[in-house]
Amino acid sequence: MGHGKLRKFAENETFRCLIQPDSRDLLEDGYFNLKDHPVKGRWGEEIFGNDNPIVLELGCGKGEYTIDLALRDPSRNYIGVDIKGARLWKGAKEATQRALPNVAFLRTRIEFITAFFAPGEVSEIWLTFSDPQMKSENSRLTSPLFLERYRSFLKEGGIINLKTDSMFLHQYTLAVAGRNGLEVLACTQDLYGGQRLPMPELYEVQTFYEKMFLEQGYKITYLRFKIDREGPYEYPADPEEFDSKAWRQAEGPRRTFGHQ
């Protein structure tokens, strides 16, 4: 491990806005019986000191979106979640230097997310340029498996925002929403080339990957939907709903490069 990463990891320990749990504690009773972290249900009280709505960015990388959304809307609390400590260092350092009261970061695997948030504790989720996981459906952050995890802590009427350069992931998520009768609030397959949506944050905030793919001429898609539904979520059942092979071929090999 390089000295740069070691320095960042050491500095991460000093950031009050960054929570870094030990996964061994969460897994004490096994993967399917995660142990709740002490912050679960107490983010407003212990971390932010208020009861404002909480918004998550899952897979936040360096935290560009988390920071910018928080600056735009001081009336909400924003939490960026990622497993990479060297990436989180940048966002946590900026939040600390700027003394942003409504920003926090959580270093953990997203599949452990239910250990950190209580029912009704979160209002909205952002998924920004997530790995489309073309070969592993249950690893996709908009799969029925993950939607059920999110539902366990989202408020009634909770919203998912998916911003991605992957048409594969966009179409898959649209198929999941259709299969489960989820209300789609906004949808575009060309965010910058189509009709402009009345959400400035979609255009004025850009992640590292977004800038990279825009420079290469790829289209950026956006999908906003509610996940209110009783009972288990269902998977797209046949190619008429979502033809994974066809969309995988259409996507091409750039996915591997873009999401390493």
What is the model's pLDDT at position 258? 43
Q: Which domain holds residue 117?
A: 3-258
Question: What's the pLDDT at 108?
Answer: 97
Residues of the chain with pLDDT under 50: 255-260
Write down the pLDDT at residue 6: 87
- Structural domain count, the chain: 1
The one catalytic residue among 68, 131, 228, 238: 131
Give the pLDDT of residue 259: 44
Q: Alpha carbon of 189 to those of 142, 149, 202, 203, 243: distances in Å?
A: 17, 26, 13, 14, 17
Q: Which one, of 192, 101, 180, lies nearest residue 148 by Cα?
A: 180
Question: Taking a C-beta distance cutoff of 8 angstroms, is the pair 51, 122 a contact?
Answer: no
- Which residue is listed with tokens 């959304």? 69
CB-CB contact of 131 with 167 (8 Å) = no
CATH number, domain containing residue 156: 3.40.50.150
Residue type for 18, please? L
Sheet holding 184-188, edge to edge: 18-19, 103-107, 77-82, 54-58, 122-128, 154-164, 221-226, 184-188
In tens, the pLDDT along 4-25 reads 888 999 999 999 999 999 999 9
pLDDT tens digit string along 60-95?
999 999 999 999 999 999 999 999 999 999 999 999
Distance CA 188, CA 73 (A): 24
228 is catalytic: no
Q: What is the pLDDT of residue 13?
A: 92
* Diameter over CA atoms, the chain: 52
Q: What local confidence, expressed as pLDDT, does residue 5 receive? A: 86
Phi first, then psi: give them for residue 186, nearest 5 degrees. -160, 145
- How many Cβ atoms are within 10 Å of 53's Cβ, its own excluded? 16
Burial of 157 (0-12, 13-18, 19+ CB in 10 A): exposed
The whole-number pLDDT of residue 256 equals 43
Cβ atoms of residues 17 and 81 within 8 Å:
no
